[in-house]
Structure 1
Amino acid sequence: MNVRTLLVVLLFLFPVASWAQGYADLGGSAEGFDVPQRGYQFDFPKDHGPHPSYRIEWWYLTANLQGADGRDYGIQWTLFRSALKPAETQSWQSPQLWMGHAAVTTPDTHYFAERLSRGGIGQAGVTAQPFEAWIDEWRMAGLDFDALTLSANGANFGYNLSLNAQDPLVFHGDAGYSVKSADGQASYYYSQPSYAVEGVLHLPEGDVAVTGEGWLDREWSSQPLASDQSGWDWFSLSFEDGTKLMAFRLRGGRGDFTSATWIDAEGTAVALPDGSASFTSLETARVAGRDVPVQWRVTLPDRGVDVEVSALTPNAWMATRFEYWEGPVTVSGSHKGRGYLEMTGY
């Protein structure tokens, strides 16, 4: 039995709820795990690496790209870590589970792929210095977060990209302590939202040279949602004047909880509290058998933002083990630009 076959067998032996604990039940119990605390002092490069005593963590990169063929593209590269218990062992008994997602979105098509691994055997993981995150042959790597190489592939797509940071890291919420509900659930959350990107996409019609801008999110927690919160709408928007906006809405039975971070053209971030941003669905599309908002009005009155956010293609559905919508968007209105939108729970 080869390693991949053995992995598949072992994954099927794990209850599906084990994965759901990390990705679908983010409001579940955090008993036994560490939980984020206000006042945490980030330690780099250590914090670029994994935190196995927390239940859920991700390294999440998206990029808006333009091809030498004149078309717009988007890419996603994500590595998720989910823990069955707060420990790590270098064997098949590791309680750390890994899941990778990669995608390329064109104006016409959305390609995606998924990889799964158990921790402890070297098939997937993250090291802090030099930085490397991987699952199988998919890689995000560099001496640190300032300069990275990125690669992934699927049945009908692939990419090889280089990323160079143009501005400092951004810390969301209270110095990286990002509150997610009125009950106080929170995560540690920071980003590098200012990568210059160049490289090649490998598509069925041939290779396409691309350039553009990338945004990397780092987040970890053990209970980032309240028990009544069913999903979220998350926006990362880069405007033509050099300013940027991260904003999200968490949908719950007791109403929405929102948060936003305004980033000026020099990279200085200002966190804005619940209620500062508003989100209105303007148009939906039938995607994967459900109605999904593909055009939004987003407002941030404190910064004079009143924009329409439109999907490059409505069909950017990630039909992975835990399904969601993720794709590039264009921005018009008070500010013009581009960005990425993620929607879960539809």
Structure 2
Amino acid sequence: MPQPTHPAARFPWRVLLLGWTLATLLVLAGCDEASTEPSGTGFAGLGESGAGFMQASAETRLRFPADHGAHPDYRIEWWYLTANLEDAAGEPLGLQWTLFRQALAPPSARPAPTPWATDQLWMAHMAVSRGEQHAVAERFARSHSTAPSRPMNHQAGALAFPFRAWLDDWELASAVTEPGGDTFERLTLTAFDGGGDKRFGYRLMLTAEGPLVRHGRQGFSQKSADGQGSHYYSQPFWRIEGEVTLAGENHAVSGRGWLDREWSSQLLSPDQAGWDWFSLHLDDGHRLMAFRLRGGGADGGDYRSGSWIAPDGTTRPLDSRELALTALATSPVAGREMPTRWRLEVPEQGLDLLVEAPHTERWMDTTVPYWEGEVVARDHDGGERLGVGYLEMTGY
């Protein structure tokens, strides 16, 4: 693995990249300054037309391990891990690690590969949460999809085999080296930021205890009544062990994780302002993914979808008629009211959950800000604890 350069040597590129990334995001959002107001191109520009790019569709079948790697002919993509962990004393911890890729131009309009040419922007987020503590960091990088140098030497990227997704020394990589082995069977995750008593991060081993899950129609997840959507699969069966550092202190941890993979060229319809997304590990072995996109429904309301996942990985898609998401209470977060207490119902499974964030200050104060944090699921009527998970909310 290439060694990261000294931060001082990288500083001019970081300044340029930040400017390029902000400019790109603002252009995509169709506004002159950062805003979460509806812009006619959806949240963060994700409803802008993807003309010229490859389009996600239900006719495309997912292929593994190839689809673990990057898809530069699509406009947007991410590798998204969340985890609910406990330390040796049973104290809960949460973590997030995400690598985002965005293409700057469709394949036919890409610049020729030169040392200065860029057609892909990369952004990575990491967070560690424990009680009232919530540490967040963000990094940027650039690359060219057809640069002559070996991809493994780029500042950021994602390779299918052996699987590796990285930005600088933040890295999610396969621990499987046997020829023909399942590269997603075991992964390692390493990411640290800060120094001294502000240092935080993690070094973890992820072991899959169940299969990959394809959402929607064999991996095509529709996001609006107009048909926009993404290729979307998850590994919701991670067992995680390792070490987390927070405020300069190390904690041995173990628990469960959820990795999402999505790529698209137009994820949303233009009138969708953001989403509320849940991933839940239930104590009986079931998993549940559910989201509400605000706007984009056939009747002009919200668009809902989800997946009910059995302990053996058998997956049942859920549409708007089979899934109800109701915000019950809000909390003041970062100068806005965030819905941090929800009712989540899947009547066919006899599921009626109260899903609540035990700690509401989980604001990701990043270039495109959002809320991301741990939640606890309880029986709505009896209050019995039924599981844990993560909630993401954008566009507020």
- Find the aligned partners of 2:115 and 2:74 in 1 and give their Cα distance: 19
Assess if the C-alpha contact under 8 Å between 2:18 and 2:140 holds in 1. Answer: no
1:101 corresponding residue in structure 2: 125
Q: Using the alignment, how far apart are the partners of 2:124 and 2:137 within structure 1?
A: 8
Unaligned runs of 5+ in 1: none
What's the CA shift for 1:304?
1.1
Output the CA distance in 2 between the equivalents of 1:205 and 1:94.
36
Matching residue of 2:79: 59
Aligned match of 2:149: none
Do structure 1's residue 29 and structure 2's residue 49 form an aligned pair?
yes
Name the structure 2 match of 1:165.
208
Paired residue for 2:13, among 7, 14, 19? 7
1:122 paired with 2:165, answer no
1:183 partner letter: D
The letter for the 2-side match of 1:54 is Y
Give the alignment's TM-score, normalised by structure 1.
0.96
Q: Which residue of 1 aligns with 2:238?
A: 195
Shift, 1:167, TM fit: 0.4
Contact 1:312 1:327 in 2 (8 A): no
Change (3 A) 1:304 1:91: farther
C-alpha deviation, 1:31, in angstroms: 1.2
Residue 275 (structure 1) shift: 3.0
Separation in structure 1 between the aligned mates of residue 69 and residue 9 of structure 2, nearest angstrom: 25
Q: Please give the TM-score of this superposition, normalised by the length of structure 2.
A: 0.84
1:231 partner letter: G
Matched position secondary structure for 2:45 = coil
Identical counterparts, % of pairs? 50
In structure 1, the residue matched to 2:284 is: 241
Q: Runs of 5+ in structure 2 lacking a partner?
A: 1-6, 30-42, 145-152, 177-182
Matched with 1:18 is: 24
Equivalence for 1:338: 388
| Mapping of residues 148-297 of structure 1, within 5 Å | 148-155=187-194, 156=198, 157-204=200-247, 206-252=249-295, 254-297=300-343
Residues 90-134 of structure 1 show CA distances to partners (whole Å, capped at 9, x for unaligned) of 743121000000001112111110001111371111111000010
| 8 Å CA contact 2:61, 2:219 repeated in 1 | no
Q: Deviation per CA, 1:221-272, whole angstroms, max 9, x where unpaired?
A: 0001000000000000110000010000000172100001000111111111
Give the structure with the larger strand fraction: 1
Q: How many corresponding residue pairs? A: 346
| Closer/same/farther in 2, CA of residues 210 and 15 from structure 1, 3 Å limit | closer
Residue number in structure 1 paired with 2:33: none
Q: Which residue of 1 aligns with 2:64?
A: 44
**1:34 counterpart SS class:** coil
The one-character-per-residue Cα deviations of 1:176-199 (angstroms, maximum 9, x if unpaired) are 010000100010000000000000
| 1:169–1:193 contact (8 Å) kept in structure 2 | yes
8 Å contact from structure 1 (residues 92, 118) kept in 2: no
Superimposed CA distance per residue, residues 309-345 of structure 1 (whole angstroms, 9 cap, x where no aligned partner): 1113100000000000001111100670000000001
